[in-house]
Structure 1
Amino acid sequence: MAVALLMVLVLWKADALPPAMTRADITAWVDAAGILGPLVIVGLMTMAIVASPLPSAPVAVAAGAAYGHLLGTGLVALGAELGAIIAFLIARRLGRSAIQRYLGAKLETGLMGSQNALMLTVFGSRLLPFVSFDLISYAAGLTALRFWRFALATAAGILPASFILAHLGSELAGPDGPGAIWAVLGLGLLTGAPLLWATWKREQGG
């Protein structure tokens, strides 16, 4: 992992990575990396979460194109999980004490002090593509949420999106590329339907 991140950082400093990388850029770079390609994918995903110099979606799509939807999903999920954990620990180490001094006991009461509520919030946010993955990771580190709960909620929540993007890349790399869009839309609907249904039921009950 450290080797992959070091490779990415060196190439970024040397301007070998363009400011706005596309799927084609990443795919070409992964191909050139040979047997180190999987480490490159994991390193890019991790870096995209921690420092956000790269968009993560093209990396995930490129992973699917290069390694198929199953291995691609695993690499994307691993990189995203590592990035989220690093962001969480950075915030916990550097910002938690300051937040505690400012909010005091309020940080441990109500929803902010509920481990189940915080864990569910992290899990739900991972299912929503318009919610900042990076921001949630850093914000969670400032709360009372236990590390293992954060890691578990993140791991469970990122699998659907990781699979959808990797599957898209895999399909686009195949002979039926244009049809992949409809397949991914269908998968996205199936993934989001339970969350939408739960939200609707909660509003009806309220």
Structure 2
Amino acid sequence: MSLRAGILIGLAILGIVLFGVWLIAPSVLAEVREWFEPERLETLVARAGIWGPVLIVTLMTIAVVASPIPSAPIALAAGAAYGHVWGTVQVVIGAELGALIAFGLARVLGHDALRRVFGTSVDAGLLGSQTALTATVFASRLMPFVSFDMISYAAGLSRLHAWRFALATLAGIIPASFLLAHFGGEAVSGDLGRATWAVLGFGLVTGLPLIWAATRGKAERKR
């Protein structure tokens, strides 16, 4: 067995286990969610020592696959503990792994299994050409208020190629991850004002053009 195949099998097993726990015993994840409070995470990372980065990546991966678990506090803790640059690197690695696992689970399990968990929200799906789908995934990653995990699962149910999904996700999550890590770093220094305005401004800059384009597209189709 090659190293690549072993890694893929390991990620698939991890994703299936997490999905099974979520499906069979959702209360377990509800209890786990309480441990993802910013203060607890910072303490946990500090106690982890040299294993802190591994912990950040692992938690970020789990948070993306298991929707009820928030990922933003993890990114904030990464920035607070390791600074803007290394915090961003860890968040990006974890988010990318989680997105790929969610994408793969959607491909393996299919629409019916995901609908039992997410409800009818997965029915919308993602439609369009490969280029349009890639652009949609990329744009969604830029907006912090768009569900990261839902887009990953929806993309897995679409016709989007896996390599396109991986590249679009990677390119899109780097700016958002940096902002969250920066926010965490600013929180430690006590200067939250600039970070807050940066996050709000980033959301507006990326979100408003997309809303305008979607509204214009609907208006043109009605003509």
**Deviations 1:125-183, CA, capped at 9 Å, x for gaps:** 11222221111101101111000100011111111211111001111112xx1x32333
Task: Give the match for residue 118 of structure 2.
Answer: none
In 1: Cα distance, 2:96 partner to 2:85 partner = 16
User: Is 1:155 aligned with 2:170?
Assistant: yes
**Counterpart contact for 1:123–1:157, Cα < 8 Å:** yes
1:1-206 matches, cutoff 5 A: 19-95=34-110, 112-174=127-189, 177=190, 179-186=191-198, 188-190=200-202, 192-197=204-209, 199-200=211-212, 206=220
**Per-residue CA shift, 1:31-55, capped at 9, x if unaligned?**
1111000000000000001113521
Percent identical: 54
Structure 1 residue identity aligned to 2:181: A
CA distance in 2, matches of 1:173, 1:155: 27
Residues 40-72 of structure 1: per-residue CA shift (max 9 Å, x gap): 000000000111352111100000000001100
AA in 1 matched with 2:141: R
For structure 2, list consecutive stretches of 5 or more residues without a partner in the other structure: 1-6, 19-27, 114-125
Give the residue type in structure 2 aligned to 1:77.
V
TM-fit CA distance, 1:29: 0.5
Return closer, same or farther for 1:202/1:93 CA change in 2, 3 Å cut-off.
closer
> Structure 1: which 5+ runs fail to align?
99-110
Aligned length: 182
Whole-Å Cα distance in 2 between the matches of residues 17 and 116 of structure 1? Answer: 38
In structure 2, relative to structure 1, the CA distance for the partners of 1:197 and 1:138 (3 Å cut) is closer
Task: Tell me by how many angstroms 1:185 deviates.
Answer: 1.4
Q: What amino acid does structure 1 have at the position aligned with 2:97? A: L
Quote the Cα distance in structure 2 between the aligned partners of 1:128 and 1:95: 26
Q: RMSD value over aligned CA atoms?
A: 2.9
Distance 1:141 1:154, change over 3 A: same
Give the partner amino acid of 1:71: W
TM-score with structure 2 length normalisation?
0.71
Q: Could you tell me whether the CA contact under 8 Å between 2:33 and 2:70 is conserved in 1?
A: no
The CA distance in 2 between the partners of 1:201 and 1:113, in whole Å, is 15
